[in-house]
Amino acid sequence: MKGTYLGEFQEIVLLTILVLDENAYGVSIQDEIGSRTGREVSRGALHTALTRLEEKGFINSQYGGATSERGGRRKRYYQVTNLGRSALEEAKSVRDKLWNSVPKISLQNIHG
């Protein structure tokens, strides 16, 4: 499999999709990332990340319903797969371990 490495931005996108649960599609993911992280993400950058994630098998997608507001254009909804979930957990555990290994004194400096 080509690279199971999970990039930082990709991690955020995965988490956002999980947060959005049933309602994860382009516009909503953009809004959610924007409000939660303060990052303005362009639709194109998001598309690239989603494509990569789908190639790695971390997410699934399918067409949703067409509404008149979108001029009849269907939305594409995304869900995280089991593989994606386990990649997230792995990434989280790696980070937790690292955090735990940091000597208390350095952490105090950071907090101070």
Partner 1 sequence: MNNSPSKFFTKLFEQFCNDSFYEELQGDLEERFYINSEEKGIKKAQSIYRSEIIKMLRPSVIRKVKYQKLNNIAMFKNYTLVAFRNLSRNKLFSAINIIGLAVSMAVCLIAITFVTEIKNYDGFHENRNQIYRVFNTRTNRGSEPQVYATTSLLTGTKLKEQSSAFATVVPIYNGFNGNLKKGENSFSIRGLFVGEEFLDLFTFPLRYGNAETALDEPFSVVLTEETALRIFSRSDVVGEILERGRAQFTVTGVMANPPSTSHLKFNAVASLKTYETRPQRPKILSDWGTMWQSYVYVQLKDNVNLEQAQESLNLIAKEENTKSEAFKIQPGLEPLMSIFPGDGKFNQLGTVMPKKNLDQIVILALIVLFSACFNYANLSIARSLKRAKEVGIRKVVGAKKGQLYVQFVSEAVIVSLLSLILGFFLFKLIRPEFLSLNIYTSRTTTLNLTTEIYCYFIGFALLIGILAGTLPAILMTKIKTIKILKGISGIKPGQGLTLRKAMIGLQFIFSMGFAIMVILAEKQYKHALNFDLGYQTENVVNVYTDGRDPMLLKTAFGKLPSIEGISTSYFLHSTGTLNSDWAKNIAGTDSAYLYNNFIDTDYLENMNHQILAGQNFNMDGPGNQIIVNEKLLERFQLGKPDEALGKQIDFLKSRKVIVGVVKDFHYGTIYNELKPYAFVLDKDREMYYMNLNVNTTDMAGTLAELGKVWEEIYPGTKISASFYANDIERTYNDLSSALKTFTLLAIIAISISILGLLGMAVYMAESRIKELTIRKVLGASLSNLVLHLSKSFVVIFIVAAAIAIPVTNYLFKELVLTDLEYTNSVGFWELASGALITMVIAFLTISSQMLRAAKSNPAKSLRNE
Q: Centre a 10 Å sphere on the Cβ of residue 85 and count the other Cβ atoms it contains.
A: 13
To the nearest 10°, the Cα dihedral for 26, 28, 31, 34? -70
Binding segment toward partner 1, per CB under 8 A, in 2-10, 47-55, 81-89, 94-102: 47-55
Give me the phi and psi of 32, to 5 degrees please.
-60, -50
Kindly state the smallest distance separating residue 31's Cβ from partner 1, in Å.
Answer: 9
Among 39, 47, 85, 92, binds partner 1 (CB under 8 A): 47
Residues in region 55-84 near partner 1 by CB under 8 A: 63, 69-71, 73-76
Torsion angle in degrees (nearest 10) through CA of 15, 19, 20, 25: 0
Beta carbon nearer to partner 1, 38 or 71: 71
Q: Does position 35 bind partner 1 by CB under 8 A?
A: no
**Spatial distance between the Cα atoms of 80 and 21, rounded to a whole number of angstroms:** 9
48 near partner 1, judged by CB under 8 A? yes
CB nearer to partner 1: pick between 72 and 103:
72
Contact residues toward partner 1 (CB under 8 A) are 25-27, 30, 42-45, 47-48, 51-52, 63, 69-71, 73-76
